[in-house]
Chain A
């Protein structure tokens, strides 16, 4: 079978498995909406705060559906021995990884659509000003966080500790990167850390597309930072890839 067809089959299997675990799928999509509802209620009527929170939650959703989901899944599949079983078949590694990457991309797009829709309906955020910018930053964010998620899975020694490793990164990053407030209002050292991390830049791009109208031309530095993290993530994801569980 042609590799394109194989990628499509792997993607379809991943989608089917995703929906067959309804509680996980439900929580996956519900969690960002829940946060949006909570903060939306807190900041009710505060236009400035709402304009921060909607792109912030959108950026967090991209990270959650790619970085968190892949770090978790790849660790699980490796420790279960599914990866090793796959490796013994003729399925090319690239096809397999593309299949799970496209699955993560689909979840990111679905989640983003829900967040934008909820922002529009409940908090009066407009429709995106700049669809191209939205697409570019979504794609850049997915590539960046997906590769970093796979790279992180290599550092996680076993499935029991996966949650601790992932949250130890995910939670500080979403707090620092201005998911819930404008980083411009944060102390200088927090701002400096946020500037160095990719999520803040993904949120800046989404904010430009959804709220401020700041275009791609003005956000190229953010794209450059995301690009650097992506390059590092891809190198680490590919080089450290382990098909075999390190069972003790």
Chain B
């Protein structure tokens, strides 16, 4: 399916996780290259959090092989934890320490921490540095999660739904933080159920549903798989809109343009597009309602 490289930050083969009778993860295979932002995209309950929590060492797998920076995360070796930063989906914080104290304390856990003020600034918390965490807003607490995950200067960062509940401005700010991590050469594994987030941040995306990967690849190319096609749209001489989805746009265009030329008509607004990530996602996760105008050609 894919080549596992020596440079891979994460390699996962045949990952299975069962809780009693329930199979939350049913045989995942994927690899994350060093320096890559990898997105696990899927609806709630798809198995994204279970998967990242296995990679983080918080859960034990039922079957399969997992390698994180060359370690088995299940062994929970300190040497691995020193190189990994984690933003959990939700986690609390001591209420009676200030932001700066918390970041400084967390930095002490790591062999080569980043500067406290630098990390506080990166997280956008400079103005709240002296505030006790019990008085922070939800958004500020989430930024503190980022700061605590980054202060150890990790090579690999897990972000489990990092912007859920953010307003659009805060989300853009968090995205900038993730982009700055990529610019620093960090590897980022991100789970999200926001399509725009995966599209905006991830170099590659795996679409997960019911514990399986339905498709993976760069967001811009995800439409190119076998189940998805090109869309050709135009308006005919009567101004009526047409929308065809086809595997073979070359043949369709040849036919269309040939007919139009023969009749001496123009094809207004002729366009060939790939399905958007959103369409692919909705189609794969079974929520897609085909629009009325959509006809599936051969």
Contact = CB atoms under 8 A, between A and B. Distances in A.
8 A-B pairs closest in CB distance: A80-B92, A81-B91, A20-B96, A88-B86, A81-B92, A90-B81, A85-B91, A17-B96
A85 to B, nearest CB: 4
A40 B226 CA distance: 85
24 contacts: A1-B109, A1-B111, A6-B109, A13-B94, A13-B101, A20-B96, A21-B96, A77-B92, A80-B91, A80-B92, A81-B91, A82-B92, A82-B93, A85-B92, A85-B148, A87-B58, A88-B57, A88-B81, A88-B86, A90-B78, A90-B81, A90-B109, A90-B110, A244-B58
A13 B81 contact: no
Given A81-B92, A85-B93, A90 B108 contact: no
A91 interface: yes
B90 A81 contact: yes
Given A17-B94, A90-B110, 8 more contacts: A20-B96, A85-B86, A85-B88, A85-B148, A88-B58, A90-B78, A90-B109, A91-B109
B105 interface: yes
**Chain A interface: which size bin?**
20 to 34
A85 B58 CA distance: 10
A140 B163 CA distance: 48
B93 to A, nearest CB: 6
A89 to B, nearest CB: 5
A87 B106 CA distance: 12
Most A CB atoms within 10 A — which of B86, B92, B96?
B92
Contact of A88 (B88, B96, B101): B88
Nearest to A247: B90
Contacts of A1: 108-109, 111
Nearest to B83: A90
Interface string B145-169: 0001000100000000000000000
Nearest to A79: B92
A21 B110 CA distance: 28
Most A CB atoms within 10 A — which of B101, B105, B152?
B105
A92 B109 CA distance: 9
A22 to B, nearest CB: 10
Nearest to A17: B96
A47 interface: no
Interface string B48-61: 00000000111000
A129 interface: no
A243 to B, nearest CB: 8
A89 B109 contact: yes
A6 B109 CA distance: 7
A9 interface: yes
Interface string A73-101: 00001001110110111111000000000
Contact of B97 (A6, A16, A87, A88): A16
B117 interface: no
A13 B97 contact: yes
Contacts of A21: 96
B102 to A, nearest CB: 9
A6 B106 CA distance: 11
Contacts of B90: 81
Nearest to A13: B105
A206 B290 CA distance: 79
A25 B273 CA distance: 66
A92 B108 CA distance: 12
Given A81-B91, A85-B148, A6 B108 contact: yes
B236 interface: no
Interface in A221-248: 243-244
Nearest to B92: A80
B29 interface: no
B243 interface: no
Nearest to B89: A81
Contacts of A80: 91-93
Contacts of B96: 16-17, 20-21
A82 B78 contact: no
Nearest to B77: A90
Contact of B88 (A6, A17, A77, A84): A84
B82 interface: yes
Given A17-B94, A88-B86, A9 B58 contact: no
A80 B97 CA distance: 15
Nearest to A20: B96
Given A81-B91, A84-B58, A85-B148, A92 B78 contact: yes
